[in-house]
Amino acid sequence: MSLKQSNHILTASELIDQTSKKDFPWSAFYELTKPRLSLLSVITALVGYLAALPSRDLTSLLNFLCGTALCAAGAATLNQWLEREPDSIMERTRERPIPARLITPQVALVFGLGLSVVGSLQLYYGANPLAGLLGAATIISYVLIYTPMKKATRWATEFGAIPGAIPPLIGWAAAEGTITTLGWILFGILAIWQIPHFMAIAWLYRDDYKKGGFPMLSVIDQGGDRVARWAVINTVVLVPVSLLPVFLGYCQWIYGIVATVFGLWFLKHALAFTRSENREVTAKSLFLNSILYLPAVLFSLVIDRWIQG
């Protein structure tokens, strides 16, 4: 069974009636939260928290993790609510809960707002005010700025790296109540990493983005040379930025070796992406290796910090 679209805002009784039916697609709510993307936000936030060498406060940790997860899920839900029309056109998104009519836009909006408010408040009161404000800033920048920008400019990807890189700052703020230099370096690593990671995705799904009306660089640059060069430039910048914790004395040889090896390996695949032949294959390889790079570098940083601490 699928829910029919309605032309009015659901009343509380209608919402309760819909959600009480036995065959209501509860799993669709889970899909609305973009669970893999939300999990990445929680993991990177936890890296920021652990890298700050926090005191062993279990209550604060649980509130921070739960609040971050709710904020990420709320932002993802509201993003899908705003993009429901292009999602219904694009091949890879047309089976999402709203275009598939498993959930009405009104229910999704209420669900997304509820998650966002509760998550921000849990961070604010359960961790500290700075963490709560950063959680709210992530949602606002992702939903109200980045999402509309995707229809207006090819630079939306670069702006979108900002809300995508805020979770480590949430974690650092939750641990310390402030953000110090290493926290900002983590923000920089994650922001720069997103560009080659997304250039690979944008190339692989360029036809879908064109169909959905998104002026991504991969849509404008039909040959792919600019897409590949931009991926390389950001990967080149990423390598020295990732080594700043070593240069500034925050980490030692464990992290330094891992960041160097994986950084150069990542750069190798970005350079391969510049070759016009087999660009589909090299884009997939760049995407997969970007996924390997991030946990290797982030977790080695945490391990190095905890060994020192």
Q: What is the CATH number of the domain that holds 256?
A: 1.20.120
Q: In terms of domains, do 148 and 208 share one?
A: no
Q: What is the CATH number of the domain that holds 147?
A: 1.10.357.140
Q: In terms of domains, do 23 and 72 share one?
A: yes
Return the pLDDT at 86: 95
Mean pLDDT of the region 145-153: 96
Return d(Cα 123, Cα 125) in angstroms, integer. 6
pLDDT above 60 for 3:
no
Q: In terms of domains, do 23 and 172 share one?
A: yes
Which of 126, 146, 178 is the last residue before a domain boundary? 178
**What is the chain's mean pLDDT, rounded?**
92
Rounded to the nearest 5 degrees, what angle is found at the Cα of 127, between the Cα atoms of 123 and 131?
Answer: 55
Q: In terms of domains, do 173 and 185 share one?
A: no
Q: What is the 3-state secondary structure (H, E, C) of 130-185?
A: HHHHHHHHHHHHHHHHHHHHCCCCCCHHHHHHHHHHCHHHHHHHHHHCCCCHHHHH
Q: In terms of domains, do 126 and 196 share one?
A: no
Which of 129, 151, 178 is the last residue before a domain boundary? 178
Return the pLDDT at 4: 39
Q: In terms of domains, do 256 and 270 share one?
A: yes
Return the pLDDT at 26: 85
* pLDDT tens digits, 130-147: 999 999 999 999 999 999
Q: In terms of domains, do 151 and 22 share one?
A: yes
Return the pLDDT at 37: 94
**Host domain of residue 195:** 180-309
Which of 125, 155, 178 is the last residue before a domain boundary? 178
Could you tell me the pLDDT band of residue 23, with boundaries at 50, 70 and 90? low
Q: In terms of domains, do 199 and 257 share one?
A: yes
Q: In terms of domains, do 116 and 192 share one?
A: no
Q: In terms of domains, do 173 and 187 share one?
A: no
What global pTM score does this model have?
Answer: 0.90
Q: In terms of domains, do 159 and 37 share one?
A: yes
Mean pLDDT of the region 221-229: 95
Q: In terms of domains, do 52 and 136 share one?
A: yes
> How many distinct structural domains can be found in the chain?
2
Mean pLDDT of the region 293-302: 97
